[in-house]
Copies of this chain bind each other. A is one copy, B any other.
Amino acid sequence: MHELRKDPIIGRWVIMAKDRARRPGNFIVSDKSNADISLQKECCFCEGHEKETPPEIYAIRDNHSKPNTEGWKVRVVPDKNPILDADVDLTPKGHGLYDVLEGRGAHEVIVETPSHIANMADLDIDQIALVIQTYVARINDLEKDKRLQYVLAHKNYNWSRDSQNITHSYSEIIATPVNPMRVKEELNGSKKYYDCHERCIYCDLIKQEVAAKERVVFENDHFIAIVPFASRFPFELWVLPKKHNAQFPKGINGLELELAKTLKEVLLKIKEGLGDPAYHFVVHTAPFQRQKGKSMRVNTMEEDYHWHIEIMPRLTHTAGFEKGTGFYICPIPPEEAASYLREVEI
C-alpha cells in the first residue's frame, strides 16, 4: 500500500511507498561508476595546476601568495563551458506567443580543496566551513550586479552534465536573471502560510519535526537534518537552520562551522550507508530584493521564507510518469530512510 503526501510548502504531491518499499540495503550502489581517483594524475583543480584553469575570480589564500599560483585553500574560477554568460544584452524579446531573454548570468566553479579529494564528505570540517564562506562571498559579490535576480550555490558529486570525469571536489555557482520556478513555488507557498498564520512555515515544520523525531537524521544546536515528509527521492535530506532567516548569506553568518559539521555528518552517512552514491545539493535562499524586481514581492519575504539546503542522493531514475505529472515516486518512506541513516556509524 502507498499514500500520497503533499509537500506543505509548494503543494506537490508525492506517492509514498509504505509496504512495498525497497529495503535500504537495496539502494547500495554495487557497480560503482566513480572513476578511480588514483588514476587521475593530471587534475587541473589540484594545487600547482592553476594555469590550467581560467584566471581565478576569488580565492581564500595564505597571506603572501599571489592569484593563480599555489597557496590557496578554496579557489573560484569561471566555468569553461558556462551555462550562462556575463556579457549579453538583457533586453527581453518577443516572438509572437513566446518570450525570450538572453542568457545573462554567471557560472562559476568553486574548487573546494587544493588536495585531490573527491567527496566533500572527506574534507575536514574547517575546510567545508571555508567552502561555505566562499558561497557567501560569491553570492554577495554577484548581488551587486543589479541585472541578476538569483544565485544558486550547488554541488554535483560524482555526476557530470557533460560526461566530464572530474573527481576533485567542487561546487558550482549559477546566477540567473530571472527567479527559478522551484524557488518561486516555495516563496508562494510560504507566503500563503504566513498570510494565514503569521508564522514561517519552515519554523513550524522544524518544531513539528523536532517533536516527532522520526524523520530527524542529525541535530545540533543550530541545524537540523531531516528526511522531508514528502521526499521526492529516496534518502533526500533537508538541512534547515533553526534560527529563522530568509537569506543564506545573512543567516549563516557566524554559523559556518556548525553548518560544516552538519554537512560532514550527513554526507558521510550517505557515503558510508548508501555505498558512496552520486548526490546533488542545492542552497535555497530568498532572491535578491530588487527595487524593480518584476516578479518578486518584497514585503513579507524576510518573515515568511527560510533558507535551507536540499541534498538529493542519486539512487533512482525518474520516468515518463514523473515527467508527465510532476508527481514523484519515492520508493522508501522518509521515516525508514531517516531511521537507517541515523544508525549509520561514521
Q: A interface vs B, CB < 8 Å? A: 1-6, 8, 11-13, 15-16, 20, 81, 83-85, 88, 95-103, 150, 152, 154-156, 159-161, 172, 174, 176-178, 180-183, 185, 201, 204-205, 208, 212, 229-230, 280-282, 284, 310, 312, 316-317, 319-321, 323-327, 329
Contact = CB atoms under 8 A, between A and B. Distances in A.
A201 B161 contact: no
B1 A85 contact: yes
Contacts of A230: 98
Determine how many copies of this chain the complex contains.
2
A248 B204 CA distance: 42
Given A1-B103, A6-B98, A81-B20, A280 B323 contact: yes
Contacts of A154: 320-321, 324
A323 B312 contact: yes
A15 B152 CA distance: 14
Nearest to A154: B320
Contacts of A212: 96
B103 A4 contact: yes
A97 B205 contact: yes
Contact of A317 (B20, B161, B174, B326): B161
Nearest to A232: B323
Contact of A11 (B13, B150, B161, B181): B181
Contacts of A284: 324
A316 B317 CA distance: 12
Contacts of A183: 325-326
Given A180-B325, A282-B323, A320-B282, A83 B2 contact: yes
Given A154-B320, A182-B326, 9 more contacts: A3-B101, A6-B98, A8-B99, A15-B84, A97-B208, A97-B229, A98-B229, A161-B317, A185-B326
A188 to B, nearest CB: 12
